[in-house]
Structure 1
Amino acid sequence: MSENTNLLNGSLEPVHEQSYDVSPSVAVITAVAEATNRSATEMPPLAEWFDPDALDSLIVSAHDDASVPTVTFEYIGWQVAVTPNYLQIAPQNDG
């Protein structure tokens, strides 16, 4: 992993971390797909959990803000943390 802070629940170690070359919502789908050895087209729509357009808008607009938002959520058994600079994912801890 990089020198970035672990944004996930303290007991979870990120298994994937990346910066963006696509929108944050697409990056989430891609990261979880890669971690689960699936195609991004096989993944359930992110919209079943929340509005991906709102995620993209919040994260992209934050590049111009002094504050740095972190959005954390669960997606198909994975914990996801998204900031304007990168995302982290880890398998959800059931314990």
Structure 2
Amino acid sequence: MDDQRDQDAGSVVTISADRYEEVAVAITSAVATASELSPLELPPLGDIGVDPEALDALFESSHDPSRRLTFTYAGLLVSLFGDGTITVSPTED
């Protein structure tokens, strides 16, 4: 895995989706890094009600800063931003 955890922020991982061909792959990689799991250990996004093709359509080619999507995946909060940034952080209990 090439994504890095922010050591100052606990298990927060921030990456650029632009480094990946598919937004879903970027999300899975970031969540795997934050949770210290293999991407293969995570459920497919479709299994949690997130359509990978829709993510690509919304975030891959657009750098609209007003776009934002947040959802929970593998017990972590995933936030996608229109500038291509993906942040994975612990959920607030």
Task: Pick the TM interval, shorter chain.
Answer: 0.7 to 0.9
2:13–2:89 Cα contact (<8 Å) kept: yes
**Map of 2:16 onto structure 1:** 19
Runs of 4 or more, structure 1, over 2 Å off, are none
**Equivalent position of 1:8 in the other structure:** none
The percentage of aligned residue pairs carrying the same residue is 36
Q: Which residue of the partner structure matches residue 54 of structure 1?
A: 54
Matched with 2:33 is 34
If each structure's helix is expressed as a fraction of its own residues, which one has the higher value?
2
Match status 1:78 vs 2:76: yes
How far has the Cα of 1:14 moved from its partner?
7.3
TM-score by length of 2: 0.75
Q: Secondary structure at the match of 1:62?
A: coil
Q: Give the structure-1-normalised TM-score.
A: 0.74
Whole-Å separation in 2 of the counterparts to 1:74 and 1:92: 8
Rg (Cα) greater in structure: 1
Q: Report the count of equivalent residues.
A: 81
In structure 1, stretches of 5+ residues that fail to align are 2-12
Separation in 1, partners of 2:55, 2:78:
12
In 2, distance between residues paired with 1:68 and 1:24?
17
Partner Cα distance (1:14, 1:87) in 2: 14
Please state whether the residue corresponding to 2:62 is helix, strand or coil. helix
Higher relative contact order by CA 8 Å / sep ≥ 6: 1 or 2?
Answer: 1
Instruction: Label 1:61 to 1:68 Cα distance change in 2 as closer, same or farther (>3 A).
Output: farther
1:26-46 CA-to-partner distances (Å, cap 9, x unmatched) read: 111101111111111111111
The residue aligned with 1:6 is: none
